[in-house]
Amino acid sequence: MELCVLVKNGVVAFSHGLARLELWVCKFLIVFFAGLLLVNVLLRYVLSSPLYFAEELAVYTLIWMAFLASSVAMANRQMISLTFIADYLSGPARTALNILVEALMCAVSLVLMYVSFRWVNSGAVAFEQALTLGTLKWPFYSIMPLFFTLTSFHTFANVLYLLGGDAGRNEETS
């Protein structure tokens, strides 16, 4: 029994630490995004020579940031949810419903993780070029399998946390 508690606590702590790392990556990406656009505007209007790749890179940066921030929200159980059923439940019934929801999210994330890994490695994506960056797109698209991997782990950790008798995990990770 003690080993189960140690494993649960280890998985939950690792999930929390991973969410903190994801949040730091988001902070870096927002600074990079703002800096990229600022430099592009300055080059465009001061030197009349903008960075031709800045807009495409900014879009990919925002996409990565959005997926990572969504993963952090899932780790902290802060996603938007409909609670009209849970509001009528109390105690063990509400916890059971929360476990069921987290387990379903984990299962869906695992399926989508598998599908997204196959998609990124498919010929259609693996050799596609980013127009203005002149690089392959798969590194940018790899946020999909990464997101679903992170989400699978975080929701699994949430299930373990809830099975441990705790009401939920809503602490800040910043």
**Could you report the per-residue pLDDT of 129-173, keeping only the tens digit for each?**
988 998 999 999 999 999 999 999 999 999 999 998 654 454 444
Q: What is the pLDDT of residue 85?
A: 85
pLDDT-derived band of residue 74, with 50, 70 and 90 as boundaries? Answer: very high
Question: Given this model, what pLDDT does residue 173 score?
Answer: 41
Token pair, residue 56, equals 């495409």
Burial label for 83, CB within 10 Å (0-12, 13-18, 19+), is exposed
pLDDT reported for residue 165: 64
Q: CA–CA separation, 147 vs 119, rounded Å?
A: 14
Q: Is the pLDDT of residue 39 over 70?
A: yes
Averaged pLDDT for residues 5-26: 95
pLDDT value at residue 31: 98
d(CA 14, CA 8): 10
Nearest alpha-carbon partner for 69 in 100, 28, 124: 28
Record the tokens describing residue 149, joined without a space.
Answer: 């991997």
Query: Are the beta carbons of 120 and 145 closer than 8 angstroms?
Result: yes
Q: Which pLDDT value is given to residue 172?
A: 40
Q: What is the pTM of this model?
A: 0.86
- Cα–Cα distance, 4 to 10 (Å, whole number): 10
Cα–Cα distance for residue pair 119/139, rounded to 1 Å: 12
Helical (H) or strand (E) element with 139: helix 138-141
List the end-to-end C-alpha distance of the chain, in Å, as a whole number.
32
Give the Cα separation of 40 and 60 in Å (integer). 16
Q: How confident is the model at residue 123 (pLDDT cuts 50, 70, 90)?
A: confident
Cα atoms found within 13 Å of the Cα of residue 164, Cβ hemisphere only: 21
Length of the chain (residues): 174
